[in-house]
């Protein structure tokens, strides 16, 4: 979707009014559930002892001479608890199985602005709510052999952060002005083509396409500006949206066909609108037949795309990956469309800092900003797997998404795109902060059905000894944007606020042993209310 900026006031509402459920990346990295244990006496550290007394799932020898073993326990256990249990055995030393790697961070001076790429809580968010780019960069920083078409408002190919990674049609660049030197039907298409104005110069006159391009592939480690998901990549600017951000079906079809014809491997599409078009669908299918991945924004209408399709992201075409947006706390952006079946993955999309034409930078919000994070990760995958086509790229994006409870049921992967797991092919661990992974107990509780006008009523649940508490809503239906349930901790602090429909979902997790829910309604429409069946507690 064309950027649709979010105002400061709305941004604050997003940050304060949604649940915080993503696990922060620990300061010290370790393999989940694995511990190195040195014991006093090798004779008493038999396998059956480890499995039974230590609650281990498996063990193996690290150093027989030094009586050091690797013990695997349940990965959902808190590390502190597992270590305390192991230390109560025959262990002399117990340590997590630490992970070591080079830290490949770029020297671009505005790198700290990019929470979507590396979130250190620099903008009031939660550390680790990002695409995990730094670990991915230890594997690859991209490749100029990977061609990504940005189908948008064009690209400022003179921007210092974009120019080193821009695509150049050598036949046209080295040919004669006014001549179709490569016989592709277009004249002087040196860095792409402008289908909005039918000319060879694809220069951005809006800013949107340049913003998208910066996230995909602003040149990295060059001491300038920002860095993209890829330090090195090739970006083709294909313009069909004009200076106002609008374009036609004709232009969209021509743009997709051009990018496909000129060899794009990935097509990034941060736009949408209009009704179902069989002709547009056919153009995406032609890209599919050339093995091209088509990444598309889910839309900014707070819409369920399963029930009310949005295009082009919802076409039933195998090469499409549809992208929703989350904020820097891991919460679904309130503007973002979703769809359990039709939207595939979430990505950072609120207050995303990137390049603009004229050597400028700014923060924009929208699923438009989420989409290039996924396009960029797809390009990283392609850089280490050059034979991958759309099927393999899409499968890897889906299998590597990091579980995130706030988007469970909202996107098919229930996760946030993750560059590290995408380029390595490893399986991401479950989210230990997700109430779905905690022990539960029956706790039936309901509001009146329907609730009443001008209602202000508290419902409190206390679980002795709990470190965090959440409840499961079998049914949650309030008048959207007018009636709310506020979630509060024991001190009365509101940590989240819900409205609308949240059937079959866990509530936001509240730290401590007490969760208070306050239902607040206005004096007009009364809806169903809520039914709770169980409570989840982490101790």
List, by residue number, the catalytic residues.
Answer: 152, 208, 368
The DSSP call for residue 215 is: H
> Nearest to residue 347, comparing CAs of 501, 132, 162, 147?
132
All residues at 6 or more sequence positions from 354 whose CB lies less than 8 Å from its CB, including other chains: 210, 211, 212, 214, 215, 218, 226, 361, 362, 363, 364, 369
Decide if 266 contacts 146 (C-beta within 8 A).
Answer: yes
CA dihedral 504, 510, 512, 513 (to 10 degrees): -30
Decide if 405 contacts 357 (C-beta within 8 A).
Answer: no
d(CA 115, CA 348): 8
Decide if 402 contacts 430 (C-beta within 8 A).
Answer: no
d(CA 527, CA 109): 51
Residue 474 burial by Cβ neighbours in a 10 Å radius (0-12, 13-18, 19+): middle
User: Which residues make beta-bridge pairs with 486?
Assistant: 497, 518
d(CA 459, CA 515): 8
Q: Strands of 30-39's sheet, edge to edge?
A: 58-63, 68-72, 30-39, 91-98
SS3 string of 494-536? Answer: EEEEECCECCCEECCCEECCEEEEEEECCCCCCCCEEEEEEEE
Q: Which residue has the tokens 């759309």?
A: 390
Decide if 155 contacts 237 (C-beta within 8 A).
Answer: yes
> Nearest to residue 266, comparing CAs of 161, 343, 166, 375?
375
Alpha helices for 88-207 (secondary structure H): 133-137, 170-173
φ/ψ region of 7 (left if φ > 0, alpha if ψ in -120 to 50, else beta) reads: beta
> Nearest to residue 359, comparing CAs of 219, 159, 224, 209?
159
């Amino acid at each position: 979707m064309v950027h649709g900026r979010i105002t400061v006031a709305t941004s604050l509402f997003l940050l304060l009014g949604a649940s915080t459920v993503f696990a922060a990346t620990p300061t010290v990295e370790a393999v989940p559930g694995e511990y190195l244990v040195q014991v006093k006496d090798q004779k008493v550290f038999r396998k059956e002892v480890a499995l039974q007394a230590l609650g281990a799932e498996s063990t193996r020898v690290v150093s027989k001479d030094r009586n050091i073993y690797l013990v695997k326990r349940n990965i959902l256990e808190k590390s502190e608890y597992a270590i305390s249990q192991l230390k109560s055995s025959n262990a002399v030393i117990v340590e997590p199985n630490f992970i070591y790697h080079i830290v490949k961070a770029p020297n671009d001076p505005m790198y700290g602005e990019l929470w979507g790429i590396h979130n250190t809580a620099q903008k009031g968010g939660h550390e680790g709510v990002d695409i995990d780019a730094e670990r991915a960069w230890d594997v690859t920083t991209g490749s100029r052999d990977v061609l990504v078409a940005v189908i948008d408002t064009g690209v400022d190919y003179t921007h210092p952060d974009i120019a080193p990674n821009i695509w150049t049609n050598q036949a046209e660049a080295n040919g004669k002005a006014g001549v179709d030197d490569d016989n592709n039907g277009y004249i002087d298409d040196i860095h792409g083509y402008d289908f909005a104005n039918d000319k060879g110069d694809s220069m951005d006159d809006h800013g949107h396409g340049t913003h998208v391009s910066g996230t995909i592939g602003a040149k990295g480690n060059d001491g300038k500006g920002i860095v993209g998901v890829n330090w090195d990549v090739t970006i083709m600017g294909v313009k069909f949206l004009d200076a106002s951000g609008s374009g036609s079906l004709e232009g969209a079809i021509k743009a997709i066909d051009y990018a496909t014809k000129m060899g794009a491997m990935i097509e990034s599409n941060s736009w949408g609108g209009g009704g179902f078009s069989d002709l547009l669908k056919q153009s995406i299918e032609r890209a599919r037949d050339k093995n091209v991945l088509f990444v598309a924004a889910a839309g900014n209408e707070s819409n369920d795309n399963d029930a009310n399709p949005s295009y082009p992201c919802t076409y039933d075409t195998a090469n499409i990956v549809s992208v929703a947006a989350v904020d820097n706390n891991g919460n679904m952006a309130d503007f973002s469309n979703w769809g359990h079946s039709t939207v595939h993955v979430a990505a950072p999309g609120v207050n995303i800092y990137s390049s603009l034409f004229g050597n400028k930078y700014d923060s924009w919000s929208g699923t438009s900003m989420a989409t290039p994070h996924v396009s960029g990760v797809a390009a990283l995958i392609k850089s280490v797997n050059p034979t991958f086509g759309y099927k393999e790229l899409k499968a890897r994006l889906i299998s590597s998404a990091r579980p995130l409870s706030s988007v469970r049921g909202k996107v098919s992967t229930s996760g946030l795109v993750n560059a590290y797991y995408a380029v390595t092919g490893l399986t991401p661990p479950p989210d230990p902060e997700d109430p779905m992974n905690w022990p539960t107990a029956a706790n039936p509780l309901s509001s009146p059905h329907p609730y009443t006008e001008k209602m202000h009523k508290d419902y409190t649940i206390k679980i002795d000894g709990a470190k965090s508490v959440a409840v499961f809503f079998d049914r949650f239906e309030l008048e959207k944007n007018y009636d709310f349930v506020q979630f509060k901790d024991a001190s009365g602090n509101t940590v989240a606020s819900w409205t609308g429909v949240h059937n079959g979902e866990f509530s936001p997790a509240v730290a401590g042993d007490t969760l208070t829910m306050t239902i607040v309604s206005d004096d007009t429409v009364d809806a169903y209310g809520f039914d709770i069946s169980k409570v989840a507690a982490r101790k």
